[in-house]
Structure 1
Amino acid sequence: MGRKVTLATCSLNQWALDFEGNLSRILRSIEIAKGNGAKYRLGPELEICGYGCADHFYESDTLLHCLQVLRELLESPVTQDIICDVGMPVMHRDVRYNCRVIFLNKKILLIRPKMFLANYGNNREFRWFSPWTQPRHVEEYILPRMIREVTDQASVPFGDCVLSTVDTCMGSEMCAEMWHPKSPHIDMGLDGVEIFTNSSASYHELRKANQRVALVSSATSKSGGIYLFANQKGCDGDRLYYDGCAMIAINGDIVLQGAQFSLDDVEVLCATLDLEDVRSYRGERCQPHMVSDHKSYHRVNVDFSLSDCEDMPLPTHQPIEWQYHSPEEEISLGPACWLWDYLRRSGQAGFFLPLSGGVDSSSTACIVYSMCVLLCNAVRDNNIQVLQDVQRVVGDLTYKPEDPRELCKHLFTTCYMASENSSEDTSSRAKELAMQIGSNHVNLNIDMAVKGLLGIFSLVTGRMPQFRASGGSSRENLALQNVQARTRMVLAYLFAQLGLWAQGKPGGLLVLGSANVDESLSGYFTKYDCSSADINPIGGVSKMDLKSFLQYCTEHFQLTALRRVLAAPPTAELEPLIDGQISQTDEADMGMTYTELSLIGRLRKISRSGPYSMFCKLTDIWRETCSPSQVASKVKHFFRMYSVNRHKMTTITPSYHAESYSPDDNRFDLRPFLYNIQWMWQFRRIDSKVSDMESGHGFN
């Protein structure tokens, strides 16, 4: 006989410390789950307070407000007759834990603390939480008075335990626990747990979704079971974008896939599955001798059934083929959703971008245009929240966006800031792209401002610096480039603050930066220049990925202006033209190609290579194109550039995190910013190895 259960998981766009909004979205998800007949609802990690509270987790206010929200959830009619599984921090015996609180009909059934904390990449959970280090151990948690008044309970189970209903057994794991070599679902499955739940706050990186899908699928392919994965979505107040991807699996098959990039604040997946499918699957694969010496979990018994009393067998579940986005689609969608969250929550009226006509600023412009496409599609699909947010941002409660180009005119101002060193080609490329995406485009010339600044310097010092082409030194040449770049930053903020005021419109604009991850890695930008902005949607994306993205936009959005952008050599255009033509290119200035720099970045961060080990790896990778001495030269050049410019990472514009070799100093890449740039010991070892290799001794 079948044993039919209906279960729900969700992705919620929670915002750190937005207790009012977070509560509303949690209740809405429970309401949707119940409307679909679900008897259990799972939410994302730390959904009550938001995952990104950071050092606010230290504040007693955060814990207090979480308890207040929990009380409202317990009292709400919406939460009755369904097992609700919510995430929040809990203080137990003066130790702070990241927990799941599971309740039913105004009674807390159990509190399950996280056992394996995420402490890598952008995660610093050990800073705010302690792991529960006692497997299968349960203690008594004394409930606070405000919760006791609702539940009429003095204490509840706290620890590594599972929930046993009258018809099945459920067990929790949280985010990083699924990625751990000894995931809890392994032992729980061997102890008869049939339904596994995972509440996550897993942020987006390019090409990461397949890892999650593989982990969820494998969690039940070995020993059977149902697996529910919930995730945070949106920008909860930081550089990260949580990309949803809620899913439900059974016996190794994915049966429901949530959206990876969506403007819906609440997304709920509901599946009706047959527990007998789990039992028959296990009957063949999990024999008694496999679990005979297994230590059992403490079971919290609850007189509640997830299945109907008169269940009939269900048809066999049908697996789905996961629809993955290409990296180009991910760049188009992820940063666009992140920008929209940032804009609607910041109270600003749009974006301002210095548009140079190059790959980087054009990519940023295309991401804003992609955002406008997503907004128009959401409004067309009757997303009332998106419509209301758009109307509030543009200041017109009657406005209904239908055409992305027309919406772009409302939200986006681009500006080409010419100088005597700018070419007509870059100016026309910027103007053509702005016309095709519909942005409000401005052309201006910065020469007067630059000459004014240099005039002040000359008046004080009695000397006037010259470009290298006019006989100046390298110091003069660099300073003259920097003053142009910094002037553009000042003008960008001036126009962002007063541009709408000059048109008689309310509000200000957020300044967008457009330095890619490779330029940040090498420090190939001016500190406090036009790369300094409020936020940067491409700061975590490599140059090579951006080129592929622009090729995608050329076809997908029919932006033919991008063909000229892609064909042009990357240039800062800060040195004098020669016969009206560009004399300066990025790759010549950097001393290496973007392809080489991207590989070096991955070795430095992902492979954790210092100068010597990087040299050793690259001599093998580049053995067909470079001699050992050439490899040594490139490695030493990179590390000199990196160490000289590392201080720039302390002031870099907050960027969308998209790449695992990001040099962002904020939390992701914790390294010094003051180095001995000679790297004497390391470089001597490289030189010694080059000598050995060229004399025929090779690696010893």
Structure 2
Amino acid sequence: MGRKVTVASSTLNQWALDFDGNRERILESILEAKDLGATFRTGPELEICGYSCEDHFYESDTFLHCWEVLLELLTAPLCKDMIIDVGMPVMHKNVAYNCRVVFLNQKILLIRPKLKMCDDGNYRESRWFAPWKKIRQTEDYFLPRMISKFTGQSTVPIGDAVIATRDTCLGFEICEELWNPASSHINMALDGVEIISNSSGSYTELRKAFVSVDLVKSATFKAGGCYIFSNLRGCDGQRVYFGGCSCVALNGNIISRAKQFALQDVEVTVATLDLEDIRSYRNQIRSLAHLAAESPSYPRVVVDFSLSQEQDATLPIASPIEWVYLRPEEEIAQGPACWLWDYLRRSGQGGFFLPLSGGVDSSSVALIVFSMCKMLVEAVQRGDNRVLSDLRRVLGDPEYTPRTPSELCNRILVTCYMGTENSSKETKQRAATLAASIGSYHMHIMIDKAITAIIEIFSGVTGLFPKFASRGGCPRQNLALQNIQARLRMVLSYLFAQLMLWARNRPGGLLVLGSANVDEALRGYMTKYDCSSADINPIGGISKTDLRRFLNYAKSKFEIPVIGEIVDAPPTAELEPLQDGKLAQTDEEDMGMTYAELSQFGRLRKIEKCGPFSMYCKLVNTWGGNCTPREVAEKVKHFFRCYAINRHKMTVLTPAYHAEQYSPDDNRFDHRPFLYRANWSWQFRAIDKQLEYQGTSKRSITNVGQQANKKVDNTARIRTGIAV
């Protein structure tokens, strides 16, 4: 009897509602798994329709087209003699479920609904699906007529069941069920399930990759077994980027894995394991064996099929491997680059337009595009014909083959330095040097005439001439003069984005890239509808601190010396007049807080769920070595005032690559109001009372100490015979 089994996990770059493309990628993964000897194939969550269909899950068309795709999979000859597990929504008794549909040789074996919904972060699953509540129970599901006509089945089991083959037992979890504290994999292991698959739609965040890997390893460490984790990869139509990292674990060790970031639409990860290794591992854990002896049973769908081969004694099995995680700067270089490529090739546009100021933010965006170009060239050189085909279509040149990243960057990225009389020659030079280093098609324009024309329109109507504060104007005038510069840059960005390819004798248009980081969005340190407004923003979820780390990495990785000057230069908007040719304005002075402080505010506000008072109570200890309690209180109050005044800007944030847990992205990740009482009267009074209490306590402690010292002093005098 055979005992060695080869299983396959598929990492797919699906696209919401792209039923043709999704079907082709699923079939490609099945073919590749079969060629690699697998007898069981699983794929990511909702792979037939795409994960991010959202309110399209209310439409009957979505369910219909999923069944149509499933029918084509059932009838495909390449699916023969393999247990295949695919993801799609299923309506049962007028309730929509997120399901796995398992089939073998043109027969559906089981429909397994998701038991636990994910409703935090960017997930809203309970809006569209219900969890299956009937644990260890199944019901009859009446198949659509088009399926029944082909399979000859009128009903199939739907519910919380497992599949028993001649040689082993298969169980299923779906995404959140691995993260949930009441995971099913332990109960299934106790009931003798040896291979468990998890089909996931887990998105990436900086420093997050280890979380899913640790969960997969721990799922098999305590109770043994094989765990197959299959995740989506790529941008399927939303801000998030699904993080890949599909893998296979055995008895607490990773034995096979897929890449985290890659341009491949289909990556199949296989592993061959010995079922006897699972049985031996479990049998030696005596407490597990005792629990298993009294464990309630799952309904079993019995299948006359073996995953193992009869003659497999010499078949090599997979060994444990070490998972090397990417550093945050490497994740920034690769993740947003892949996200940009997905967006570009699916949008039908011909490249990107970027206002390049020579500062940290816009330079980071330019370097992410360059990193994308580098990844594309490497993929083409490896022989990836799909990438080459997509690239030729984007550029409108059926004969083009890229030779170097810089050459490709010149075709795909247009950068423009939009100077005014308030711009310094240093930033202009840094922008030009960086553009030359990466090869972008670069321009330098002066926009003072346009600014003057706008101001003259206002002056013609009112007879008033606004001035900068340094020239005698009030704060309102000063702010208005800054904002018009920023907003004109946005208008010009879209003008150039629409016409630059026409000017270069190429079809199509360009996507405008934004370059506001997550800290500036949190603070509202941007002009509404200025050059932070764009089509997409690859750094909108990344902190200034991490962007500096990325630039230092890019300096050595891409061998571009000017990046050092960009990192060292103080961040500035350059919207106020220069003084003696030097900068008179810096971002941190304007904001009244440092970028490091902003990151801390963001984490406390979003991740640790702090209001003004609890934030003060935490920071008064964290920052106690550098700030007095009153200084901490003023910093917290200043942040919340600015947050309240500027929260409305979050409603128009450019769609950004999600990378940070404290993203303030409104209505997607951060569901908070956009209109606040800006003085936070009750909350700030609580801080003031705490300050007063701390001051009183400090005085009391001082008085107690003084009294104690006096008592010690008197005692000493008595002992020496001195009169008190």
Same fold, TM exceeding 0.5?
A: yes
1:289 CA displacement: 2.0
Aligned to 1:153: 153
Aligned to 1:30: 30
Structure 2 SS opposite 1:238: coil
Aligned to 1:643: 644
Aligned to 1:10: 10
Give the aligned residue type for 1:366. Answer: L
Alignment of 1:200 with 2:203, yes or no, is no
Aligned to 1:655: 656
Aligned to 1:677: 678
Q: Counterparts in 2 of 1:446-465, with a 5 A limit? A: 446-465=447-466
Q: Counterparts in 2 of 1:256-295, with a 5 A limit? A: 256-286=256-286, 287-295=288-296
1:316 CA displacement: 6.5
Alignment of 1:553 with 2:554, yes or no, is yes
Aligned to 2:545: 544
Distance in 1, matches of 2:403 and 2:141, equals 54
* Per-residue CA distance 1:630-689 (angstroms, 9 max, x = gap): 000000000000010000000010000000000000310000000000100000000110
Aligned to 2:227: 227
Q: Is the 8 A contact 1:16 1:49 kept in 2?
A: yes
Distance in 2, matches of 1:35 and 1:450, equals 64
1:504 CA displacement: 2.3
Q: Is the 8 A contact 1:273 1:314 kept in 2?
A: no
Alignment of 1:83 with 2:76, yes or no, is no
Distance in 2, matches of 1:426 and 1:363, equals 14
Aligned to 1:68: 68
Aligned to 1:51: 51
Give the aligned residue type for 1:376. Answer: V
Aligned to 1:615: 616
Q: Counterparts in 2 of 1:505-654, with a 5 A limit? A: 505-654=506-655
Structure 2 SS opposite 1:695: helix
Aligned to 1:112: 112
Normalising by structure 1, we get a TM-score of 0.99
Aligned to 1:99: 99
Distance in 2, matches of 1:632 and 1:321, equals 46
Task: Quickly say closer, same or farther: Cα 1:321–1:472, change in 2 above 3 A.
Answer: same
Distance in 2, matches of 1:429 and 1:311, equals 63
Aligned to 2:722: none
Distance in 1, matches of 2:312 and 2:268, equals 24
1:315 CA displacement: 6.0
Distance in 2, matches of 1:231 and 1:269, equals 11
Structure 2 SS opposite 1:291: helix
Aligned to 2:424: 423
Q: Counterparts in 2 of 1:463-482, with a 5 A limit? A: 463-482=464-483
Distance in 2, matches of 1:288 and 1:256, equals 28
Structure 1 SS opposite 2:371: helix
Q: Is the 8 A contact 2:521 2:664 kept in 1?
A: yes
Aligned to 2:706: none
Give the aligned residue type for 2:554. Answer: C
Task: Quickly say closer, same or farther: Cα 1:490–1:316, change in 2 above 3 A.
Answer: closer
Give the aligned residue type for 2:509. Answer: G
**Which runs of no fewer than 5 residues in structure 1 stay unpaired?**
none
Distance in 1, matches of 2:149 and 2:663, equals 49
Give the aligned residue type for 2:151. Answer: T
Structure 2 SS opposite 1:5: strand
Give the aligned residue type for 2:211. Answer: Q
Structure 2 SS opposite 1:237: coil
1:697 CA displacement: 5.6
Aligned to 2:443: 442
Structure 2 SS opposite 1:453: helix
Task: Quickly say closer, same or farther: Cα 1:316–1:258, change in 2 above 3 A.
Answer: closer
1:10 CA displacement: 1.0
Q: Is the 8 A contact 1:359 1:547 kept in 2?
A: yes
Q: Counterparts in 2 of 1:82-481, with a 5 A limit? A: 82-286=82-286, 287-312=288-313, 317-481=318-482
Percent identity between matched residues is 61
1:311 CA displacement: 3.3
Q: Is the 8 A contact 2:271 2:317 kept in 1?
A: no
1:432 CA displacement: 0.3
Distance in 1, matches of 2:202 and 2:376, equals 24
Structure 2 SS opposite 1:397: coil
Q: Is the 8 A contact 2:2 2:311 kept in 1?
A: no
Distance in 2, matches of 1:540 and 1:646, equals 16
1:313 CA displacement: 6.5
How many correspondences in the alignment? 700
Distance in 2, matches of 1:580 and 1:622, equals 37
1:318 CA displacement: 1.8
1:523 CA displacement: 0.2
1:549 CA displacement: 0.2
Structure 1 SS opposite 2:271: strand
Task: Quickly say closer, same or farther: Cα 1:699–1:505, change in 2 above 3 A.
Answer: farther
Structure 2 SS opposite 1:476: helix
Q: Is the 8 A contact 2:272 2:318 kept in 1?
A: no
Task: Quickly say closer, same or farther: Cα 1:399–1:301, change in 2 above 3 A.
Answer: same
Q: Is the 8 A contact 1:2 1:275 kept in 2?
A: no
Give the aligned residue type for 2:80. Answer: Q
Structure 1 SS opposite 2:116: coil
Structure 1 SS opposite 2:697: coil
Normalising by structure 2, we get a TM-score of 0.96
Give the aligned residue type for 1:195. Answer: I
Give the aligned residue type for 2:203. Answer: Y
Q: Is the 8 A contact 1:2 1:313 kept in 2?
A: no
1:272 CA displacement: 1.0
Aligned to 2:720: none
Distance in 1, matches of 2:678 and 2:655, equals 26
* Per-residue CA distance 1:223-280 (angstroms, 9 max, x = gap): 1101111011111001011121110110001011101001010000111110000001
Which runs of 4 or more aligned residues in structure 1 lie more than 4 Å from their structure 2 counterparts after TM superposition? 313-317, 697-700
Structure 2 SS opposite 1:696: helix
Give the aligned residue type for 1:506. Answer: P
Aligned to 2:696: 695
Give the aligned residue type for 1:513. Answer: G
Structure 1 SS opposite 2:139: strand
For structure 1, which segment, 377-386 or 501-510, has the greater mean C-alpha deviation from structure 2 after superposition? 501-510
Task: Quickly say closer, same or farther: Cα 1:27–1:2, change in 2 above 3 A.
Answer: closer
Q: Is the 8 A contact 1:2 1:276 kept in 2?
A: no
Give the aligned residue type for 2:638. Answer: H
Distance in 2, matches of 1:118 and 1:148, equals 32
Structure possessing the higher radius of gyration over alpha carbons:
2
Distance in 1, matches of 2:478 and 2:398, equals 52
Distance in 2, matches of 1:378 and 1:242, equals 20
Q: Aligned-pair RMSD on alpha carbons?
A: 1.3
Give the aligned residue type for 2:265. Answer: D
Distance in 2, matches of 1:699 and 1:177, equals 54
Give the aligned residue type for 1:423. Answer: S
Give the aligned residue type for 1:247. Answer: C
Aligned to 1:668: 669
For structure 1, which segment, 98-107 or 72-81, has the greater mean C-alpha deviation from structure 2 after superposition? 72-81
Distance in 2, matches of 1:301 and 1:73, equals 22
Distance in 2, matches of 1:623 and 1:138, equals 59
Distance in 1, matches of 2:76 and 2:277, equals 35
1:80 CA displacement: 1.2
* Per-residue CA distance 1:388-422 (angstroms, 9 max, x = gap): 01111111111111200000000000000000100
**Which runs of no fewer than 5 residues in structure 2 stay unpaired?**
702-724
